[in-house]
């Protein structure tokens, strides 16, 4: 057992547990993460990971009705939810500290003992389909889906997490049981408890709750195929009030040592009101309300990108700024004063985000679920502070290349190409 700002241990069946006591917190958060998501699916079951997440709230052996779960959590004054991503699925709840044991009991029950009632499955199909419809009506969200499909094509990394309607309609109880039996296994499960709980008592309760989860044989995912020789674009027609765009480059995965340098580069580019994109696109051009940049990492691939909601008439100007600013990193060193400000802003906002028990738990959980050595917030801050201007230019020269460049646009454009602007 390792003890620093957290306690980490493993149950005999392989379940990994991270306890993060925070004496000053008035709340406790319980999170259960499992190593599965849309990248573990085949086309035949695309959307099943997300659908299964919904069904865990629709009744368990101990709480047969959906209302049994929600009423009990509401009675604790809890906030709670779940999420499905490409490589993990998570279930969480947060309540006042004295409710922590009950919180663990409920979250572990819905994770360990779902019944997958056939009637509830049929009802929830309609809910999932309406969720898919909702995303179609959210242009910013839709632009993100278009971008991932453009970059990765017809493989799990390029598919929608919510899935396809025809798959949802034909999903059966047997599909849930088979998928859960392949992925919801002890070595793939991580339990995180953070906040003002009693650590000794919580350890006993976690051991008791999760000790019987079977080990099984975990299903795997296919490695992401990367193939690109020149800039790519997709222009999706939709009548909207502003054009939504994502301009980005293929990068690398979560375990790559260049990750801090790329994170800091993205922050200089579009992290906050002092960033280059904010100044040029919003303040100088007056072309967008939201404009930002981010570096996103998964186990075997990654993206660094900018996104914006731009005035139609100024779209080309925004694209030119984006291409120019990405290219600058390959040619020029970031000035020392700008680098210091970006480091302070990135690390400062990161530390502020950890004031709540749910964000603190998510910080440790996102590391553990991917089998990364657990770093404390202070260690992560030191990693960022060590990044030099030379490091940023070096990683930019490796990533910011024409054969990694992709552009997705959603707006009122038919038979229109912006490929001519994509020149670094």
Active site residues per annotation:
53
Judge contact between 220 and 41, C-beta under 8 A.
no
Rg (CA), the chain: 23
Spatial distance between the Cα atoms of 173 and 169, rounded to a whole number of angstroms: 12
Burial 132-149, CB ≥16 within 10 A → b, else e = beebeeebeebbbbbbbb
Q: Cα dist. 358→10, 194, 250, 364 in Å?
A: 21, 7, 30, 10
Spatial distance between the Cα atoms of 82 and 76, rounded to a whole number of angstroms: 18
Spatial distance between the Cα atoms of 418 and 348, rounded to a whole number of angstroms: 37
Spatial distance between the Cα atoms of 393 and 279, rounded to a whole number of angstroms: 21
Judge contact between 310 and 287, C-beta under 8 A.
yes
Burial 318-333, CB ≥16 within 10 A → b, else e = bbebbbebbebbbeee
- Determine the length of the chain: 424
Structure tokens at 412: 């009122």
Spatial distance between the Cα atoms of 244 and 312, rounded to a whole number of angstroms: 9
Residue 248 bridge partners (DSSP):
305, 406
Whether the CA torsion 43, 44, 45, 47 is positive or negative: it is positive
Structure tokens at 314: 């100024």
């Amino acid at each position: 057992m390792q003890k620093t700002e957290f306690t980490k241990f493993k149950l005999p069946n392989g379940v990994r547990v991270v306890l993060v006591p925070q004496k000053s917190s008035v709340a406790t958060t319980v999170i259960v993460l499992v190593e599965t998501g849309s990248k573990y699916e085949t086309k035949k079951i695309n959307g099943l990971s997300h659908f299964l997440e919904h069904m865990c709230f629709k009744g368990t052996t101990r709480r047969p009705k959906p209302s049994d779960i929600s009423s009990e959590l509401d009675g604790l004054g809890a906030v709670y939810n779940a999420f499905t991503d490409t490589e993990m699925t998570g279930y969480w709840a947060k309540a006042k500290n004295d409710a922590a044991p009950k919180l663990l009991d409920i979250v572990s029950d819905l994770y360990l003992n779902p019944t997958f009632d056939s009637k509830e499955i049929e009802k929830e199909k309609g809910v999932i389909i309406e969720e898919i419809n909702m995303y179609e009506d959210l242009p910013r969200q839709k632009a993100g889906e278009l971008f991932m499909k453009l970059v990765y094509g017809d493989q799990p990394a390029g598919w929608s997490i919510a899935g396809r309607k025809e798959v949802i309609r034909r999903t059966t109880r047997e599909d849930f049981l088979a998928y859960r039996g392949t992925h919801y296994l002890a070595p793939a499960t991580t339990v995180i408890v953070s906040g003002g709980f009693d650590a000794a008592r919580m350890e006993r309760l976690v051991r008791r709750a999760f000790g019987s989860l079977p080990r099984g044989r975990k299903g795997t995912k296919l490695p992401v195929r990367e193939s690109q020789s020149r800039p790519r674009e997709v222009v999706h027609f939709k009548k909207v009030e502003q054009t939504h765009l994502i301009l980005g480059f293929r990068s690398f995965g979560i375990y790559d040592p260049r990750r801090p340098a790329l994170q800091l580069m993205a922050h200089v580019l579009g992290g906050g009101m002092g960033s280059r994109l904010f100044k040029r696109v919003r303040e100088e051009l007056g072309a967008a309300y939201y404009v930002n940049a981010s570096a996103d990492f998964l186990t075997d691939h990654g993206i660094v990108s900018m996104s914006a909601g731009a005035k139609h008439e100024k779209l080309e100007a925004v694209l030119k700024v984006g291409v120019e600013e990405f290219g600058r990193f390959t040619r020029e060193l970031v000035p020392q004063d700008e680098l210091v400000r970006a480091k302070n802003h990135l690390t400062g906002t990161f530390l502020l985000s950890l004031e709540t028990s749910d964000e603190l738990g998510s910080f440790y959980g996102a590391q553990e679920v991917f089998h990364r050595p657990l770093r404390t917030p202070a260690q992560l801050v030191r990693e960022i502070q060590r990044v030099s201007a030379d490091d940023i230019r070096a990683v930019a020269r490796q990533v910011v290349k024409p054969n990694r460049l992709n552009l997705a646009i959603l707006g009122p454009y038919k038979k229109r190409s912006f490929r001519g602007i994509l020149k670094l």
